[in-house]
Every structure is written in C-alpha cells, then in structure tokens.
Structure 1
Amino acid sequence: MSRETPFAYQAVYRYLVEWLDGASAAEQRLPSLRALAQRLKVSVSTTKYAYGLLEDEGRIYARPKQGYFSRPVPAPGLAPDTHLLDRVYAYARQPGMLALCSDAPAMLLSLDNPLLTVERELVRQYPRSQAPLYQPFGEAELRTALAERYTRSTTDYWQAEQVFLGTDLRAVLALSLDALELNGSVALVESPCSWAILRQLQAAKIRVIELPLDAEGRFDRQRLHEVLQREPVRLALLSSTLNTPHGSLMPAADKQQLCRWLGERGIWLLENDSYGEFCFTPEPARYRDYADPERLLVFSTFDKLIGSEAPFSYVLCRGQGARLQRHFLERAFRLSPIRQKAVAKLLGSGRVDQHLTQLRGLLRERMGQMQVLLAEHAAEQLRVVTPAGGATLWAEATRPVDMAQVYEQLLGQGIVIAPGQMFSQQGLWRHHLRLSFTLDWRQDIAGAVQRLARVIDQTP
C-alpha cells in the first residue's frame, strides 16, 4: 500500500488474515503497530483498528508491554488429545484437502462485491472529516433495517433500540447469556445441534440437556414434557425454522406446544436464526411466532447470507433491554460504521432478498447434484433424507459404523468429513455424518463420494 485510503484498515486486516492463515499453527508474535504501519505505509491508528478487529474475532490477543500474539491453532497429527472439532477444522484449512464438512451457503454465491461497491459509494458521502460517531450498539441505519426486516404486523413488530450488533456469533451469544444471567444454568437444545452453539454453552458452564430429533425432525413430546417438569431449565436454544445440521422442519403445532410449555415456566427462548432464511418451504413456522415476547431473544449472523466481508452478528430482544445495553456498552465492539451502513443499504434496497432467491435456487441445485452422487456411489452405505433447506445433508450409515474412524481413514486420502459426534455433547450420532454441497464443484466430488463409500465398507 503506497498511500492511506478510506479502506486502509480493510487492506491491513486482509494482509494480517493472510499472514495468520499462512503462519505456523504455533503461537506467533505479530509486528508492532508502528512497525507494521511503516511497512505498509499507513497510520498507526489504522493498524491499531485492524488489530482490534482480529482481537474481537479471537484470532489474536494482546500481552501487556509485549505486543500482539496469534492464538495457537491445533496442528493436525501433533495433538492426539485435541478435541475432534478442532482437529476437523484444522485439517479442513490445510492446503490440498477436500473439505466435505463446510456449512457456508454464501460459498456458492456471495454479496461481497456488491457490498464493497456500496461501501465505496458511501465513503464519498461520509468523508473522513464527517465520519459518523461511534455507535456502541451498532449503526442506527442497520439496526433500523433489521427491525423492519423482522417486523411482520402491527402486533408482531420490532424497534431499532431492541437490536444489538457485535463482531461475530460467538461474541454476541456469550454477551447475551451473560446479560440475561444464564451462565451456569440448565439449557435444552435440539440434537444434533450446531457445534458452535454447544461450544459456547460449554464456555458459559451451562449444563446441556439434548433432545434428539427423530427422522421427521420432531421431539418425543412426552419425554420433553417430563424433562421440563423434572429439570430446572432456564433456557431453550433452538433453530428458528429448519434444524441445522439435521435439515428437518418441525411441524408448527409442535413448535407452538413447546413455546406454550416454555411460557408457562418463564423459560427463555434463544432462537438461532442463522439459517432461518435458507428454508425451501415458503413462510415456514418459526418459534418466535408462538413464544412469549418478553422471554425471547433472536440471534443471527450476516456471513451465511452475504459472505465473509460481513462477519457481524446481531441479537433482537424486547425483554431486559437495559441489561443488554449495559453489557454492549462495556464490551465496546469495534465495528466499521461504513460497512454497517453498506449492509443496511443492501437490506433496504431489496438486493438481499433478490440474492436469497438466487441462492436458495442454487442450493437446491447443488443439493440435487450431491444426492445423485450419493445414490450412485453410496446408496448401500448411507441413508440420506432430503433436507428442508440449508447447505448440508445429514446422513446415517446403513450399518453401525463409527464415523470418527471413517474420518481418520479419509484424512490420509485428503478428504475431511464432519462426524456426527461433533454435534452432541453426550456421544450421540456416532453412526452419522454431515456432508456439505456448498463445494468447489470443479474438484472430483464424485471420486470423493466413492472413496467415502469404500472407507465405510472397510471400517469394522
């Protein structure tokens, strides 16, 4: 970079991301703020802002009087006691590996380029001398756009002050659990459950009770009712529309009954809306349609829909707004004001809805391609139910096979899968795996499916 530009911090951020991705998995010391500023010919404040973004994402951390350091990444093959989840994603990042384990819809079609185009236009409207003031809860335009997007009627509406933005899903979920004083409590979750959700609940020292979904995506209602009567449950954390990674869509009547039981007991419902708009069924029932509005918190993230240039996450909550405000003020997230305004423009212009229509169509197409390959090459090894949406397929072995062993065998062939054990804290789903169809289809996906089937056959 030869000169300072309004996007200098983004260029520094990308430079550091690439440096971190290419660096050793062990802890590394980063250049000092001043040294990096001199190297890249930008201001120290620009490098400090870029470092701050990486720190909020958990990629780096600061040591007093020593500088910034990268957080160690588990090195594949070097730590046999490393958690399965960490090993899967460490291997998936290695060059030359074919990762059949991703869950990113925007990998097929992103809005990154339109987002950056809108941002460039906004920079001309908001020159540096007139830059908007820092907003601790997120930019007003984006909070307003989200409130409007979630409003459905005169009785089911949201206001901008009930929307809060943060750097990523991990951060906003951790902050929300803290603000609602739910740390150390008991939670109900659907099972299989997102590994990111399970890890965050574990970090909050929350005891998790898993409710297994049947093949149709339904809970055992009798068992659920007994659990609610027996256990001191404080929150239920559930997918908004389709379950991820299971891919099923729970009937509206079941959601309504569960919300009625939660409301009777004053239990908080935390609705994960990260995949809420990737359902192939028009107007699917959502938990928030039936939940107690004063015991409801909805959270989601932009990166699944827009792409990696929009890593922000957000929560909507009507109850306990004062607590959330206090915690967001104390946390002081550092988010790009112009980037948030650009996301708001995409939402308000209808561009996101047009994109969603295209993306859902592309997801259906790629899902069909993967189903054809599985039917041709792995029909005797795997049972796959057509999902109601999303970016992945949930598959079960036709005979008892430990998918963790299949995963280990496939690593030697350059293929990474996501064993079902990753999606449970209680050792469930050992004979299952999650397969992505948001892949680079220029690669030999058919060959990978054949090797998967062969390894399943060879695993005792």
Structure 2
Amino acid sequence: MSQFLYESIAERLRKNIESQFWSIGHKLPSIRTLSKTYNSSKISIQTALQKLEAAGLIEAKSRSGYYVKKQDQPHQPQHQLEITQPKKIELPDLFYQIMQKSAAFDIYPSAKIQPTENNILTLNRHINRAMRHQASSNALYYSPPQGNLDLRHKISQHYLSRKLYVKPEQICITAGCQNSLYLALSTSTKPGDTVAIESPAFYGVLQILQQLDLKVIEVPSSATQGILLDKLESAAKKWTLKALIVTPNFNTPTGSLMPEANKVKLCELAEKLQFNIIEDDIYGDLGFHRVVMPLKAYDKYNKVILCGSFSKSLSRDLRIGWIFSENDLNKITHLKMLTQLSNSESTQQGLTSFVGEGFYRKHLLQYKQRLLNQRNKLIELINQHWDFHFKYTTPEGGLCLWIELKINTDSVSLYNLAIEHNIVLTPGALFSTTPIFNKYIRLSYAHEFQKERVEALKKLGKIIKSLTV
C-alpha cells in the first residue's frame, strides 16, 4: 500500500518528535524550510503538519508557527499495579458467564443492522466466485497445511506497506488471531513455564494461559506508552520468562500505541534476557493518522512471533488469521494439523483475489476514517450526557475506549444491570486476574451511533450514576 507524499513527510516529522530530536515546546522549522528539506511542495508540508496537529503532537500558534505539544492528557485513566510472583490463572465462573452472555464490540446489539458496506459485499462475491469456480476440487481436497500459498503472498505484500518483509514460506494460515496466539504459545512454552502479559490484558489471552497451565506475571501498561519496559525488565531479571504476549499497536482495552523507541528497546530486552515475544497484531491496520510498523519490523534477533487476522479490520465472519515465525513454523504447522487440519480453501481463494485487486486497501481507507469519526462521536456523547466524574483514553487507532469510573463502582454489577436493558459493555474485571480494574469498563465505537445507541449511552450513564451516588 503506497503512501502519499504528505504521509511520508508526516511520519518523518513524527519520528523527530518521538525520538525527542524536537523536545516539548520546540518550534518546528518554517513551511518554506521544510519544503526545501524534503524537496516537496508547501501544500504537502502543510497537509503533513495538519495531520500531526490532528494527532495532538503539535499545535499552531497564531503568526508564530508550529510547536511540539506537551502530551499531557488529564482524562487518561491511571492505575498502580504491583507486580507479584508468577502464578497460575484460575478464572472464576463469572468470567465465563459474562463471556457467554456476550462481551461484544457493540453497546446495543438490538439496534437496527446497518446496511452492509460495498466492500464487504465485494468480499462475499469474491468468496462465492471461488466456491463456484473450483467447487469439485475444493470439496475433494484439503488446503495445504500452511494455507493457500497465494494468500500467504498477499499477506506478505501487505506487510511491505507497513515496512516489514515477511517471507510467504514462513507464514502459516490459521483460524483467526485467537487460534494464532494459542498455536504460538503452545509451541514456545510447556506447562509450568512463566509468561508475562501486559496489564490490562486481552481476556482471550487469559483463557489460553489457563488452558495451557502456564504461570503468569502481569506487567503494568500505560494507556499512552504500552507495556512499561522498566517494570518488565525488573520482572524478567527476578523470574525466568519464557515468553511475553503483547499488543504494541492499539491494544484492547486501552488502545495504547507503543512508541517506536520502545519497540526497539523491547526487542533488545528480549534478546538480552532471552525470552520470546508473541506479538498480537490484530489491530495493526487500524491506525487513524498513520501506518504503524509491527513490533516484528524492529526484531533483529528473531525473538518475535507475529500473529494477525482480518477479523477486526475486515470481517468477524472471516475466520482467517496467520502466524509468521522464522524458528518454530514447522512445530506450529504440525500442531495446526493436529488441532485444525486445514482452512476453507474457497474462503482463502476469495480473500486472495479481494486483497490482490486492491479492495482491502480501499476498505481500510474508508473504515479507518469511519472509526475515527465514531471514536470522536462516542467521546462527544459521553461528555455531553454523563454528568459524573470519569476518565477515558483517546486512542489513535483500534476499536474501543477504556473508561475509569468512580472508585466505588463495580463494573460487574454495572454489567449485570446494563444487560437487563440489552446494553452491552465489557467490565474491567475481565482484563486481569486481580481486582484492580473493577472500576473500569471498555466501550466500543465499532458501530455508528444511531438513535438507538445514543439512547443506550444515555441510559448507561443513568445506571452508572445510580451505582456511584
């Protein structure tokens, strides 16, 4: 996926800010100077600066120019997690009860279904065409164990747009990112090993860790920086880590984006202390203001196993994911054959032509803009209709807000009250083995805020207020 010139310039300017080449309060060079520096038009420079301003990295001062903006976000949730010794996970029955009821990316599933977008209809046509044209062959033969080779080539080509070269022969197609994480953990650990996770953590990972009988260390994660590397290093020096599971780009629930410098340091830390990193890249394509590089792109030591999927960026109905690994791919493929055998060949063929003809790129451009608008709308609505104290994240990508409520709020009780009104939220209790996130909730902006969802948000505000008075 090629970049416009202004996007490339914006990314280079951003790196200067994130590396602190330009510190807080520093005045950026003039548009004329930047135009000469980057050999580009003033319009391209102006557009790049506007992009950085929209991302909150710089601010314009009247008749003065652009300045690096202080990244203080007073609304950001804060938590203090003390790292304890490794322990095995024992999820309570309540965890599974909530999961069975639906911990979904829609606050009000009873709302009218929006018309299916044209790109999804096009995807379905590609899959249906593949089913018709090779019906007999696909019915009589399994897909290759590693998955359709043409699809692996398309995934490889797509990652080039994010500045990562992935060899097609080192990719294994899976049944989604959850399946990828399971395969990666199963082949890189054994029961009783210690694994680090960021906290708050994706609840699906907690389920896998319990199933595989692994010990866990929860490492605190910042809503703006991702996992705290100093805390991780201290834990890794104290206890022998076999692996770390991390979502560097727009993780759930906080939506945090790990800075480039931290990605470099994390890979160096994995080499230094000899643990593997399992990267969950499921939200990596959903950056609102720029294309972000996977952690794997910074990995010089072959310590990162990359897991991804189309389920969050394209369609939940597509149970197609992948793993990229230089070292363990044979073990991963053998375990896949044992547990799954193969993927739908027709679905893979249809997805291959959909991506190959540029429809996935077109979909992402439209979808990311829609998600940004819906994120802004959700923030506008809760600030307008919730008349009590709360804090929230403002992610630069992904699908959700992480909201901190008053200290005496129990998010599980809130969930149970809300579900009686067909309102779905995800209680913070799902994202840790400790009670530290009991006063937090995750809210999604994956759907447009039509009348029914606006009314659901208003009602949710009233329920929250009834619990905090």
1:255 has 2:252 as partner? no
**Cross-structure match for 2:98:** 88
Report deviation, 1:163: 0.8
1:148 has 2:157 as partner? yes
2:205 to 197, 220, 233: 197
Within 2, Cα distance between the matches of 1:217 and 1:93?
Answer: 25
| Structure 1 stretch displaced more, 358-367 or 332-341 | 332-341
For residues 254-403 of structure 1, what are the structure 2 equivalents within 5 Å? 254-378=262-386, 380-403=388-411
Unaligned runs of 5+ in 1: 1-80
Contact 2:127 2:350 in 1 (8 A): yes
**Cross-structure match for 1:73:** none
Within 2, Cα distance between the matches of 1:209 and 1:221?
Answer: 14
Alignment partner of 1:90: what SS?
helix
C-alpha change, 1:137 and 1:450, in structure 2 (3 Å) is: same
AA of the residue aligned to 1:150: Y
Contact 2:184 2:278 in 1 (8 A): no
C-alpha change, 1:184 and 1:118, in structure 2 (3 Å) is: same
Aligned residues: 374
- What's the C-alpha RMSD, in Å, of the aligned pairs? 3.0
Within 1, Cα distance between the matches of 2:132 and 2:336?
Answer: 30
Within 2, Cα distance between the matches of 1:394 and 1:130?
Answer: 43
Contact 1:245 1:393 in 2 (8 A): yes
1:168 has 2:173 as partner? no
Within 2, Cα distance between the matches of 1:101 and 1:204?
Answer: 33
User: TM-score, length-normalised on structure 2?
Assistant: 0.72
User: TM-score, length-normalised on structure 1?
Assistant: 0.74
Structure 1: which 4+ aligned runs deviate by more than 6 Å? none
Report deviation, 1:424: 0.9
**Cross-structure match for 2:467:** 459
Alignment partner of 1:209: what SS?
strand
Within 2, Cα distance between the matches of 1:433 and 1:86?
Answer: 17
AA of the residue aligned to 1:88: I
Report deviation, 1:101: 9.3
AA of the residue aligned to 2:415: Y
Deviations 1:105-133 (A, max 9, x none): x9985844212211333345435258784
C-alpha change, 1:101 and 1:245, in structure 2 (3 Å) is: farther
Alignment partner of 2:101: what SS?
helix
1:439 has 2:447 as partner? yes
Unaligned runs of 5+ in 2: 1-90
AA of the residue aligned to 1:378: W
Report deviation, 1:226: 1.1
Report deviation, 1:230: 0.3
Contact 1:263 1:292 in 2 (8 A): no
C-alpha change, 1:226 and 1:207, in structure 2 (3 Å) is: same
Report deviation, 1:159: 1.7
2:188 to 180, 195, 199: 180
| Structure 1 stretch displaced more, 382-391 or 226-235 | 382-391
Contact 1:172 1:314 in 2 (8 A): yes
Within 1, Cα distance between the matches of 2:365 and 2:301?
Answer: 29
C-alpha change, 1:123 and 1:432, in structure 2 (3 Å) is: closer
2:129 to 121, 126, 131: 121
Identity %: 22
Contact 2:428 2:442 in 1 (8 A): yes
Within 2, Cα distance between the matches of 1:280 and 1:315?
Answer: 25
